[in-house]
Amino acid sequence: MTETRGTPAGSSAAESLTDWLSARSDAELTELLRLRPDLAVPPPSTMVVLSGRAQQRASVSRAADELDTLDFGLLELLALAGAEETPMTRAELNSAIAERALTGKGKVTKKAVDKSLSKMRASALIWGVDPISVVPAVIGMIPWRVGRALEPAEAMTETEISAALNALDTRERDLLETLANSSPIGRTRDAAPGTPPERPVQRLLAAGLLRWLDEQTVELPATVRQVIRGEPVFDPTTLTEPVIGGDKLKPADVNAAAAGEALELVRQCENVIAVLGAAPAPALRAGGLGVRELRRVAKTADLDEARVSLLVELLSAAGLIASGTPDPAPVSDNADEYWTPTLAVDGWLNASTARRWEVLASAWVDVPRVPWMIGLRDSTDKPIAALSEEGRAPAAPRDRQAILGLLSELDSGQTASAVEVSRLLAWRRPRWSGRLRTFAIERTLDEAAALGLVARGALSSPGRALLHGGDAEAEMQSALPEPIDYILVQADLTLVAPGPLVPDLLEQVSLVADIESAGSASMYRISEDSVRRALDAGLTATELHTMFASKSKTPVPQSLSYLVDDVARRHGRLRAGVAASFIRCEDASLLAEVLASAVAEPLALRALAPTVAISQAPLREVLTELRAAGFAPAGEDSSGTLVDLRPRGARVPNRRSRPASRMPASPSADQLASLVRTMRAGDRASAPGRGGVRTDGSRENNAATIALLATAARDNSSVNIGYVDAQGVATHRIVDPVSVGGGQLDAFDPASGAVRRFTLHRITSVSPVDSGKK
């Protein structure tokens, strides 16, 4: 099909937005629907329908969210000229731009103006090239009072504003706080001339903290509002984009710092998983993880509560923990659901460090939640719980993309402070300013730094790859230091790993020692309990001696050898195995002591011989109870070999992830092109004097309808039909008739890609598609 070319962009003004849209090319209309996908749902039948939707306030508001301060500045000039009623010529607009530059709001080039106008024209917020008209609803989207941008820049500095605010009493401060957190325009009788000067409004006017507009109206200056809200102070109406002037670091240094954060993140997530696997945390009835349980997890994992809040949010977003009924059930099962590792966690634990990091980082970028809000007060003055519904924020992924996307525009290694990012984002997305305050950006960048996406104030190479669809896992793998296969054993029973350890050595070290400090270099401490833990896992004293001797680049201290031998000598003298369970011991007096202890009754121990006893309890329970009673048994299998009986930890089934957004998926390019063809056909079908059936809505002979549809089916040609469904919704669509009969039409619908059935009496119009081709 030949594409409709439309009227040249520089032609004379169209009488209406509908006329202007009708004159656009198919490519331009497709681009409009791509930029504003809400216009395509449900599919518009004609240009009249499309034009009406494009002017609706809700749709215009969504499109205005993508405009920057320059765009709004030009819209303000169009609004002041009344361009929503009478188009404004380009010469008049250029003159207004030059006058605005005299107010000190920044100069702008013709190229920048052309780009801004083209962007708004492509989104149908304005129409026409010369003269230019503006959609009325978009004027109400300008994020400041229309006309304010033409006024001189505010004279008070940030220091002067802060000093004036500190001198206010409670009533005056509350008044300003109200205006700062709502509309900056306030109506009051105290603005009238002759009002006593001691009244709060008059005092604020005298201090320069309010601006007088008329006898009943005052305005909070933008800079005062910014200081009160903790935002960077700058003129939000300036036409010039703020510049970021950060430091330039070596990309290798940034990536090394990011890799260190990634290692620590993965290690701490492993700890939290182990804690929740050993003792699942009861979920709150309203959902989420309670403060008491959060503190327990933090204490057990040796982490602070804020860090654990972030970690559990990451693990939940990645599908590694979920609330449900754990298997095995907790010992004190008094809750309906528990936060527990999922079945997916075992695969994650066995993956490479880079892969584990990529899973967590990807989850954070896309999750519609704000972890840094945990602990803050909600609208009822209650602290927001981790994993609770109050932490949801559908706009969070878009905000993260905006913040990190800004950093990705900078050269590799260039830094940017939160204040600089906040100022630039406020200029680029002024309608987002209430959401992207400096505090929120600082917290978001802190989270990005904790994940290794940002390091030392710059975007890391793995972060850049993740943001732009590259191989983030490979980038992180190259940034991570090479694993080492040695340790440094110290005389004080500590050992140092000067880098990440190879998996086998890390597993052995984690068994025989407890970590004291982690990072690019980690320190572990060896104790009697940690040595016993290694022996419980099946390692022998000989294997431990061999590991220390072969893997330590420093001499093994004698005190460590003594410790291992002493614990090993006492360990395993008492042995339990599988019968129901059995206990055997070469020392008859030790077994007699066990049988005489309090643990014998709950385990139902019964002596078979001076050195053998049996129990009906499972082997793991026998070992646990004996250890709790102060004994040091070792588990063995039927051949007498020591076995590792440490529990894997509780698990819950994997949960299907919650969709990040309820917005419908954007139509494909082919679907948009089909919609444009449908609208063109709808316009032709509704045009007066066109051939076809029921083009004016009247009911003609049903035989004519059937004949035209049958001809189209025989010739394999397309028709445009008007159709009213069972809910009374009228649409136009292009279809390829297949068969007609029995009061029904079977036709292939290109929009859905399937054959659909239409009831003939609901078809209101039919016209051949080819009859109106240009």
**495-546 residue pLDDT tens:** 999 988 888 898 899 899 998 887 778 899 999 999 999 998 888 899 999 9
pLDDT of residue 570: 87
What pLDDT sits at residue 665? 59
Closest-CA residue to 17 (of 49, 62, 63): 49
| Cβ neighbours of 353 (radius 10 Å) | 20
Q: Is residue 238 part of a domain?
A: no
Mean pLDDT of 700-711: 69
- Tell me: pLDDT of 591 over 60: yes
For residues 145 and 194, membership in a common domain is answered with no
User: For residue 644, is it within any domain?
Assistant: no
Single-letter amino acid code for the residue at 289:
L
pLDDT of residue 692: 44
Buried b (16+ CB within 10 A) or exposed e, 96-106: bbeebeeeebb
Domain boundary among 448, 478, 508: 478
DSSP state of 559: H
How far apart CA 261 and CA 258 sit, in angstroms, is: 5
Q: Would you state the pLDDT for residue 105?
A: 61
Residue 661 is encoded by which pair of tokens?
A: 């957004």
Task: State pTM to two decimals.
Answer: 0.73
Residue 731 lies inside a defined structural domain of this protein: yes
Q: Look at strands 126-127 and 338-341 and give their pairing.
A: unpaired
279 & 428 share domain: yes
Closest CA to 575 of 526, 529, 615, 530: 615
Q: CB neighbours of 383 closer than 8 A, spacing ≥ 6?
A: 291, 374, 375, 376, 377
Identify whether residues 29 and 142 lie together within a single domain: yes
Q: How far is CA 279 from CA 213, 276, 327, 544, in A?
A: 63, 5, 11, 29
pLDDT of residue 262: 94
Q: What percent of the chain stands above pLDDT 90?
A: 41
* Whether 297 contacts 312, CB under 8 Å: yes
733 lies in some domain: yes
For residue 323, the cross-strand partners are 339
Compute the distance between CA of residue 698 and CA of residue 764 in angstroms, rounded to an integer.
8
The one-letter amino acid at 222: A
Same domain, 461 and 525: no
* Shared domain check, 587 and 509: no
DSSP state letters, 282-325:
EBPTTSSB-HHHHHHHHHHHT--HHHHHHHHHHHHHTTSEEEE-
Query: From CA 424, how far away is CA 244, in angstroms rounded?
Result: 8
Question: So what's the pLDDT on residue 699?
Answer: 38
At residue 698 the predicted structure's pLDDT band, cuts being 50, 70 and 90, is very low
Q: Would you say residue 624 lies in a domain?
A: yes
Give the pLDDT of residue 146. 84
The most confident of the ranges 62-71, 375-384, 732-741 is 62-71
- Residue 262 covered by a domain: yes
Q: Which residues pair with 525 in a beta bridge?
A: 494, 514
| 416 and 312 fall within a common domain | yes
How many domains does one find in the chain?
6
Mark whether 518 and 456 lie in a shared domain: no
Crossing angle (nearest 10°) for helices 305-317 and 353-366? 90
The highest-confidence range among 176-185, 257-266, 620-629, 704-713, by mean pLDDT, is 257-266
Of the candidates 478, 508, 536, which is a domain's last residue? 478
Q: Is the pLDDT at 417 greater than 70, yes or no?
A: yes
Q: What pLDDT digit, counting tens, does each position of 595-607 carry?
A: 999 988 888 898 8
Same domain? 293 vs 400: yes
Same domain, 421 and 549: no
Give the model's pLDDT for residue 578. 54
> Residue 87 belongs to what domain range?
17-150
Q: What is the pLDDT of residue 663?
A: 47
* Contacts by 80-85, CB closer than 8 A, 24 or more apart: 80/146, 80/147, 80/150, 83/126, 83/131, 83/132, 83/133, 83/134, 84/133, 84/134, 84/135, 84/136, 84/139
Q: Are residues 504 and 541 in the same domain?
A: yes
Which of 150, 180, 207 delimits the end of a domain? 150
Structure confidence at residue 616 (pLDDT): 82
- Three-class SS of residue 248? strand
Domain match, 387 and 349 both: yes
Which of these, 533, 641, 621, lies nearest to 580 by C-alpha position? 621
Which single residue is written with the structure tokens 């139902």? 604
Whether the CB-CB separation of 187 and 216 falls below 8 Å is answered with: yes
Residues 6+ apart with CB under 8 A from 626: 574, 576, 583, 594, 599, 603, 633
CB-based contact 462:258 (threshold 8 Å): yes
The pLDDT score that the predictor gives to residue 4 is 43
pLDDT confidence band for 656 (50 / 70 / 90): low
Same domain, yes or no, for 115 and 183?
no
- Say if 202 falls within a structural domain: yes
Could you tell me which residue, 113 or 180, shows the higher pLDDT? 113
Tokens of 119: 């962007």
Does 651 fall in a domain? no
